[in-house]
Amino acid sequence: MPGENGRIQRRYPMERKASIDQTILSPGTVSINVKGAFIVDEQPSRPPTPSDGDDGAQHDTEIRLPNHEAVVSHVALDIGGSLAKLVYFSHEPDAKDLGGRLHFLKFETDRIDQCLAFVKGLQDEFRRQNGSRSGKMSIMATGGGAYKFYDDMKRILGVEVLREDEMDCLIIGLDFFIREIPREVFTYRDDDPMHFEAPRADIYPYLLVNIGSGVSMIKVSGQRQFERIGGTSLGGGTLWGLLSLLTGARTFDDMLKMAEAGDNAAVDMLVGDIYGADYNKIGLKSTAIASSFGKVFKMKRQGENQAEDHGGLSQDSREEDNDASSSQPQFRKEDISRSLLYAVSNNIGQIAYLQSEKHNLERIYFGGSFIRGHRQTIQTLSYAINFWSKGEKKAYFLRHEGYLGSVGAFLKRQPKNWGRRNSFEEYPVERPTITHREEE
């Protein structure tokens, strides 16, 4: 029926209208029905915003909630050093379809204005769909950007921004995915690259390795019982920074594409380069990396020696100078990308194993936007855990690995025991204490 400004508004049954009224009176107290939830394995639907053209976002796979009918009056943002991750709920656009979807989007933090413009569009759409009594949509925010951009968010969005602790949200988000969402968590093997784990209730203890610009490693002993036990500054930001210097690539996705086309053996020194074969006594294949970038110096020296032998460094003519420079080895940016991806991933994998061994943790979950579902990264991390633990520990990955914090912030607005397996309980007034240890 026509609403304000002549717009068409959806007809809701009385039960749905009651839930809308309750949401308006007590924003944030709506419970989410996750019964029958599943990941939508199709191109993400365009979000219901009035924006035209490129919104600057990368849209990831959505989660369908076919049995959820109540209004959700908040969105969640996790703003990190490189990316801002957004999670929000929308009902199905066709009134005949029940339920709705959780949407997952990410923006480059350097373009936070595009992200906030998108959220502004969500606010407008929320008011249009739910009428004049809908009030203002709440904003949940976590990550360092929740503080850095706090004033900008309040000014542009015109609402109070509720900030939540970053590690708190990471654990809540991961617990939700493990316990509630089918075909979300998986393990990797070369012959079975995406072996899905069924949702489970008995999940503790475990180690979370969250790989963003840097890396944090968090021991989780139970609900609201966690401790940051270590980390490393060599993370996604390291790979991004070095490859931007070495290859000229502008985006992280471009770097991953180059790595897929590369051959690290062109720049890395392998076990086979030293032994001529596998080193079976200690379980090393000939293709194992003995030294990252280990061939570069050797090959450059060989090129210089060849130039000297041919007089390339002692002749003044332009032609002979060109001959000398052409004798220098040329390293492909694709090979450099693959080598550095392996170097960073192997380092993270080994540190994760050492932390899990020290704290007696068998299950290791890898999260963060560094992974992005990239097969080579997943393969390297999985291989490192399996190799060093001799198969005693398992590496787990997630299809929404970059959204742990934003999902955790989103769930902070939910009431007690709303999930099928009690994946989230309402926090007490006193927040949990988070212990930080100095990195060795």
What does the alpha-carbon distance between residue 35 and residue 400 come to, in Å, rounded to a whole number? 19
pTM: 0.80
- Of the chain, the end-to-end C-alpha distance in Å amounts to 64
Kind plus residue range of the DSSP H or E element containing 244: helix 236-247
pLDDT of residue 324: 47
User: CB of 43 within 8 A of CB of 94?
Assistant: no
φ, ψ at 60 (rounded to 5°): -100, 170
Question: What DSSP letter does each residue of 186-206 carry, written as one string?
Answer: EEEETTEEEEEPPP-S---SE
User: CB of 357 within 8 A of CB of 389?
Assistant: yes
What does the alpha-carbon distance between residue 296 and residue 275 come to, in Å, rounded to a whole number? 19
Task: Please state, in angstroms and as integers, the Cα–Cα distance from residue 333 to each residue in 9, 227, 257, 397, following that order.
Answer: 54, 39, 11, 28
pLDDT of residue 154: 93
Q: Which residues of the chain have pLDDT under 70?
A: 1-31, 42-54, 95-96, 131-135, 301-329, 414-440
User: CB of 215 within 8 A of CB of 349?
Assistant: no
What does the alpha-carbon distance between residue 385 and residue 398 come to, in Å, rounded to a whole number? 16
pLDDT of residue 24: 36
Task: Please state, in angstroms and as integers, the Cα–Cα distance from residue 257 to each residue in 81, 189, 246, 254, following that order.
Answer: 22, 21, 15, 5
Question: What DSSP designation does 402 have?
Answer: G
SS3 content of the chain, % helix, strand, coil (to 5): 40, 20, 40
pLDDT of residue 248: 85
Residue 230, SS3 per DSSP: strand
What does the alpha-carbon distance between residue 321 and residue 44 come to, in Å, rounded to a whole number? 55
Kind plus residue range of the DSSP H or E element containing 375: helix 375-389
User: What are the tens digits of pLDDT across the range 282-327?
Assistant: 888 888 888 989 998 877 766 566 655 555 444 444 454 455 455 5
Length of the chain: 440
Q: How many other CB atoms are there within 10 angstroms of residue 196's CB atom?
A: 13
What does the alpha-carbon distance between residue 401 and residue 7 come to, in Å, rounded to a whole number? 38
Task: Please state, in angstroms and as integers, the Cα–Cα distance from residue 334 to each residue in 341, 383, 391, following that order.
Answer: 11, 22, 31
Strand pairing partners for 77? 86, 141
Dihedral sign computed on CA atoms, order 223, 224, 230, 231: positive
φ, ψ at 61 (rounded to 5°): -55, 140
Residues in CB range of 196: below 8 A, 6 or more apart = 182, 183, 184, 185, 186
- Which among 392, 328, 400 has a CA at the least distance from the CA of 38? 400
